[in-house]
Chains A and B, each alone.
Chain A
């Protein structure tokens, strides 16, 4: 508990207070890592290197034409910007809703929490395709939502949800919500709630106790959740493909079109590299401005 408090108040103090992590002896290479390293080198490192190689190789050897095509066409910049914006909006929604749900789960009776947690996890058992299709059934012109709105007399003609940002964001947020809830829940569950009581007994209002004690302690969960949701969000293919229209074209959709229709793999690889650069760049920024040591170290 002393350690957790230190985390909340002062990162430097925390580093000093917590015992130094046991390091593997520097001279010996841990042999048990070899299978994992080989696996990653073969099935992650090699394909990734191939994508980089493909992005600068056309029919006549070395070329930068794929990157030129991207930088010469403002429409492609907009597609990238839209992809990022979609990730951010989805992230905001899942964060606000997920935080509330996770908080509610940790505060409630344990047996109820376990049961409700199952509801959070059940969607993981079915495929993303099916879950996206469910949204088509709900949001369709003759879907459940439209018939309810029509019956209540709120609208006169069915509203075309499909092909709008609303539909894509809603389905994406729904799809990614469990990741956010799980990240937050695991961290919130480890927070000693006596800390809140201590703050209250020292005269803090409930809101202040929450804001100054609980909220900072959940920071690692918030960051991890945001990170996962954003990364998955900008890479999602099915949801914008099925629920979006031309205005909802994301970079992954553009890559798929390049691979299957335009059959230009150099450009497809260049687009993939650009997407990777953007996410990689964001990771660097996050590492720089957000304290990742604390992020991973805090989620104990």
Chain B
């Protein structure tokens, strides 16, 4: 290639890039929302994203599925492709620590939204939406008098049968700690090594899987009789009338948040969306189809009496569990990873 050819092609590439950038710049009334996919996002789309697009005239684009690694790289590199991201509490804390999130201006949030949000959920960098809960689900045919606590989950004599849980990524250390010490108020801090000893004590009575979908499948297929599972995952089985029940005692709640990443191309549009979606009535719409509970307590005014008991954080069962300490967990992820490695070589 001669040097002139080379220069021409550089120019061509440069022009193409320039066009691409100006095209992105022209569509200012766009909003891209990145969420978690699945049934959850389908309902978010149906009850939040599409109605907002209609009401505001903004073009809402959706993207689904990410992992923490590519999210962090995306924001760090400055090539941000999302304006609003649905995030778990520990991801929020990790990204906030690295200053990769836009602060939430709580003063500008409408009073009708603010009133029902508990004080400790008003995160400086994230807007709380729903919460899910890690619960115990069991086969009601195997256990007509179902297990009532994590101590029962570990009691293979009183409740013979296999147990199932997600493994490597989220081993049930908190549940093991609660089996030892049932006082949920004093769950954190707990001894992670002891918790792994407790998990190891179950031996071959517990089956691990690398995904929640498979854990649910294990219960559905009768491979196991008792599982540790996020409550929303049980919705289809319960709806089909399968012989399964959820034990809410000692559940752990995990809030989810909407965040605006640093460098979001349409940060202002994102703020407008948050101030729209935050209304309790809109938050309430997701309750029935997903069984995830609104964090805004005012939303319960708009939720059916028969749906409310299925939701994490509803007034009837909230006291039986607690919010997981994402900060403590985040600080101890490394110990949990090491514990998992040790569990493998015992």
Interface residues of A (CB under 8 A from B): 69, 73-76, 78-79, 82, 140-142, 160, 162-163, 241-242, 245-249, 253-254, 257-264, 267
Annotate B190-232 by CB proximity to A: 1 below 8 A, 0 otherwise: 0000000000000010011010000000000111000000000
Bound-complex Cα distance A248 to B209 (A): 12
Contacts of A262 in B (CB 8 A): 333-334, 336-337
With A141-B223, A246-B167, A249-B168 as given contacts, are A75 and B342 in contact (CB-CB < 8 Å)?
Answer: yes
Q: How far is the CA of A264 from the CA of B337 in the complex (A)?
A: 10
Q: A75-B338, A140-B221 are in contact. List 4 more A-B contacts (CB 8 A).
A: A78-B345, A160-B207, A257-B169, A262-B337
Nearest-Cβ distance from residue B333 to partner chain A, whole angstroms: 4
Interface residue? B158 (CB, 8 A): no
Question: Is B204 a contact of A75 with CB atoms below 8 Å?
Answer: no
- Please name the residue on chain B nearest to A259 by beta carbon: B69
B interface residues (Cβ-Cβ under 8 A, vs A) = 67-69, 94, 167-170, 204, 207-208, 210, 221-223, 330, 333-334, 336-338, 340-345
Are A263 and B221 touching (Cβ within 8 A)? no
Taking CB atoms, residues of chain A closer than 8 Å to B204 are: 160
**Across the interface, which residues of A come within 8 angstroms of B68, CB to CB?**
259-260, 263
User: Of residues A69, A259, A262, which shows the largest number of chain B Cβ atoms within 10 Å of its Cβ?
Assistant: A262
Residues A254 and B345 in contact, CB atoms below 8 Å apart: no
The reply to whether B344 and A78 contact each other, CB–CB distance below 8 Å, is yes
| In contact, B168 and A163 (Cβ under 8 angstroms) | no
Is A258 touching B337 in the complex (CB atoms < 8 A)? Answer: yes
Specify which chain B residues have a CB less than 8 angstroms from the CB of A140 in the assembled complex: 221, 223
Contact B94–A263 (Cβ < 8 Å): yes
Q: Are A260 and B69 within 8 A (Cβ)?
A: yes
Q: Can you report 6 A-B residue pairs in the complex whose CB atoms are below 8 A from each other?
A: A73-B342, A75-B345, A82-B345, A247-B344, A249-B340, A249-B344
The 10 closest A-B pairs by CB, nearest first: A78-B345, A262-B333, A75-B342, A75-B341, A246-B344, A249-B344, A262-B337, A141-B223, A246-B343, A259-B69
Q: How far is the CA of A267 from the CA of B94 in the complex (A)?
A: 16
Contact A257 B344 (CB under 8 A): no
Cβ-defined contact, A261 with B333, below 8 A: yes
Decide: A260 near B338, CB < 8 A? Known: A246-B208, A248-B344. no
Given contacts A248-B344, A249-B168, contact A261 B337 (CB under 8 A): yes
Smallest CB gap from B170: residue in A: A261
Alpha-carbon distance between A242 and B210 when the two chains are bound, in angstroms: 6
In the bound complex, what is the Cα–Cα distance between A292 and B207 (angstroms)? 45
Contact A257 B340 (CB under 8 A): yes
Least CB distance from B50 to A in Å reads 30
Secondary structure dominating the interface of A: helix
Q: Are A260 and B67 in contact (CB under 8 A)?
A: yes
Q: How far is the CB of A251 from chain B (nearest CB, A)?
A: 10
C-alpha gap A152/B89 in the complex (Å):
51
B222: A residues at CB distance < 8 A: 142
CB within 8 Å for A163 and B333 given contacts A140-B223, A248-B344, A260-B68: no
Q: Inside 8 A of B330's CB, which chain A residues have their CB?
A: 263
* B69–A257 touching, CB < 8 Å: no
User: Is B169 within 8 A of A260, CB to CB?
Assistant: yes
Instruction: Take A78-B344, A253-B168 as given contacts and tell me if A163 and B334 are in contact as well, using a CB distance cutoff of 8 Å.
Output: no
**How many angstroms from the CA of A262 to the CA of B339 in the assembled complex?**
12
Shortest distance between the CB of A142 and any CB in chain B (Å) = 6
The answer to whether A79 touches B341 (Cβ under 8 A) is yes
Q: Distance in Å from the Cβ of A250 to the closest Cβ of chain B?
A: 10
Closest to B338 in A: A73
Q: Which residues of the partner chain B approach A248 to less than 8 Å between Cβ atoms? A: 344
Contact partners of A259 in chain B: CB under 8 A: 68-69
> Given A257-B340, A261-B170, is A267 in contact with B207 using a C-beta cutoff of 8 Å?
no
A contact residues around B344 at 8 Å (CB): 75, 78-79, 82, 246-249
Across the interface, which residues of B come within 8 angstroms of A163, CB to CB?
207-208
Q: Which residue of A lies closest to B335 (CB)?
A: A262
Asked if A241 and B208 sit within 8 Å, CB to CB, the answer is: no
**What is the CB-to-nearest-CB distance from A211 to chain B, in angstroms, rounded to a whole number?**
40
- Which of A73, A141, A261, A264 counts the most B-chain CB atoms under 10 A from its CB? A261
Name the distance in Å between A39's Cβ and chain B's nearest Cβ: 15
Among B207, B340, B343, the most chain A Cβ lie within 10 Å of the Cβ of: B340
- Shortest Cβ distance from A51 into chain B, in angstroms? 13
Contact between B333 and A263, CB atoms less than 8 A apart: yes
In the complex, residue of chain A having the shortest beta-carbon distance to the beta carbon of B341: A75
Q: Which residues of B contact A249 (CB under 8 A)?
A: 168, 340-341, 344
Output the least CB separation between A268 and chain B (Å): 9
Q: Which residues of B contact A73 (CB under 8 A)?
A: 338, 341-342
A272 to chain B, nearest CB (A): 13
Neighbouring A residues of B210 by C-beta, 8 Å? 241-242
Chain B nearest CB from A267 CB (Å) reads: 7
Q: Could you tell me if A245 and B223 are in contact, using CB atoms closer than 8 angstroms?
A: no
Within 8 Å CB of B221, what residues of A? 140-142
A245 lies within 8 A of B167 (CB): yes
On whether the beta carbons of A246 and B223 are closer than 8 Å, the reply is no
Instruction: For B223, list chain A residues within 8 Å (CB).
Output: 140-142
State in angstroms the CA–CA spacing of A170 and B109 once bound together. Answer: 57
Q: How far, in whole Å, are A140 and B221 apart by their CA atoms in the complex?
A: 10
B94's closest neighbor in chain A, by CB?
A263
Determine the distance from Cα of A263 to Cα of B330 in the docked complex, in whole angstroms. 9
Q: Are A79 and B333 in contact, CB atoms less than 8 angstroms apart?
A: no
Let me know if A267 and B169 touch, CB within 8 A.
no
Q: Which residues of A contact B208 (CB under 8 A)?
A: 163, 245-246
Instruction: Tell me the complex Cα distance, A143–B94, Å.
Output: 41
If the complex has contacts A160-B204, A245-B208, A262-B337, are A257 and B345 also in contact, measured as CB distance less than 8 A?
Answer: no
